[in-house]
Amino acid sequence: MHSVYRNTAQVAHSAEYAGENDSLPKARLGQRTLDRIGNTPLLRLDRVASDLPGVEILGKAEWLNPGGSVKDRAAANIVAQAQASGKLTSGKILLDSTSGNTGIAYAMLGAAQGFPVTLCMPENVSVERKRILQAYGANIIYTDPADGSDGAIRVARELAAKHPDLYYYADQYSNDANWQAHYHGTANEIWEQTEGRVTHFVSMLGTSGTFMGATRRLKELNPRIRCVSLQPDSAFHGIEGTKHMASAIVPKIYDPSLADADLAISTEDAYAMAKRMAREEGLLVGISAAAAIVGCLQLARQLKKNEPAVFVTILCDSGDKYLSERFWQEG
């Protein structure tokens, strides 16, 4: 009781002192939206790996970025570099194709910094993503769902070519600022959070920026880290935000030689893992995040019995953007 009164008195004294010294500069309170991007926690997934003694599976909780996904990192770096180079100037509209999350990140940044955003996006993305983009005030051009993310890329390229003075075409699939965000940020966070104990890095491929950047840096820190890329097992899949490289427009920033291995993940396995994560770990993760966990478990089961390993993967976003999907009610 005494300490409470003493602290209250100290606060009152501090307030009185501050009032007498209004001319002194005061530290700015709070944080900007940009300041909250990155430094996401690393979560331990105990129950889904309970049958694998010696194996630790850790996931970067990227939905805790202000825009709700890992794509905040790349989008923020793309925007920062475009502004610094004079490519994104006052009066220009940021244009890009997206399956949702990068678009949400652009829209959030545009709203916070005062630049307009136009996005080309397949019409069949989840209704939640559409509503979030509308809430941020982005202009959305819907493309044919049958053409997938490649169709959105083609429309964005056509617009950029027709109106070069109107748009800054961010082109996340070809922009080095994408993978550099993970080289300088994500990988170093993983290294520090695991105290250098990470043995495997596993990530789904979309633009490939997360895998390319993090792998380059982790291999510099320890060449023995096994870096494994994951992609859908079919051109026709339900893992939003990811690419089946053999049937898609391959991102310019993608270098398959960086991967120690590449695994194919089925949509059905990803859906099942999303439900397991919610019901066994208490974590509502997105479909690509669930697919990444499937990949980690597949790799872990290939290890020798009781072989110690520390797997780190990227939990790209949360499941709240996919709650309208029917698989939650099935099975």
Whole-prediction pTM value? 0.90
- pLDDT tens per residue across all 331 residues of the chain: 344 333 433 434 444 444 445 566 778 888 888 899 999 999 999 999 999 999 999 999 999 999 999 999 999 999 999 999 999 999 999 999 998 999 999 999 999 999 999 999 999 988 999 999 999 999 999 999 989 889 999 999 999 999 999 999 999 999 999 999 999 999 999 999 999 999 999 999 999 999 999 999 999 999 999 999 999 999 999 999 999 999 999 999 999 999 999 999 999 999 999 999 999 999 999 999 999 999 999 999 999 988 999 999 999 999 999 999 989 988 6
What pLDDT does residue 7 have?
Answer: 42
Tell me the angle at which helices 127-136 and 101-113 cross, rounded to the nearest 10 degrees. Answer: 10
What pLDDT does residue 8 have?
Answer: 37
Q: Which two tokens stand for residue 243?
A: 């690419």
What is the Rg, in whole angstroms, of the alpha carbon atoms belonging to the chain?
22
Question: How far lies 182's CA from each of 19, 75, 138, 178, 270, in Å?
Answer: 45, 11, 25, 7, 24
CA 205 vs. chain centroid, Å, equals: 11
Selecting among 69, 126, 208, 288, the annotated active-site residue is 288
Q: Is 275 a catalytic residue?
A: no
What pLDDT does residue 23 have?
Answer: 63
What pLDDT does residue 331 have?
Answer: 66
Q: Is 71 a catalytic residue?
A: yes
What does the H/E/C string look like for the chain? CHHHHHHHHHHHHHHHHHHHCCCCCCCCCCCCHHHHCCCCCEEECCHHHCCCCCEEEEEEEHHHCCCCECHHHHHHHHHHHHHHHCCCCCCCEEEEECCCHHHHHHHHHHHHHCCCEEEEEECCCCHHHHHHHHHHCCEEEEECHHHHHHHHHHHHHHHHHHCCCCEEECCCCCCHHHHHHHHHHHHHHHHHHCCCCCCEEEEECCCCHHHHHHHHHHHHHCCCCEEEEEEECCCCCCCCCCCCHHHCCCCCCCCHHHCCEEEEECHHHHHHHHHHHHHHHCCCECHHHHHHHHHHHHHHCCCCCCCCEEEEEEECEEHHHCCCCHHHHCC
Question: How far lies 156's CA from each of 97, 113, 245, in Å?
Answer: 6, 22, 20
What pLDDT does residue 148 have?
Answer: 87
User: What gap in Å lies between CA 189 and CA 118, rounded to an integer?
Assistant: 32
Domains of the chain: 33-68+182-329 (3.40.50.1100), 71-169 (3.40.50.1100)
pLDDT digit string, tens, across residues 71-93: 999 999 999 999 999 999 999 99
Question: Nearest CA to 233 among 209, 210, 273, 205?
Answer: 205
Selecting among 60, 71, 243, 321, the annotated active-site residue is 71
CA atoms within 13 A on the CB side of 77: 21
CA 150 vs. chain centroid, Å, equals: 20
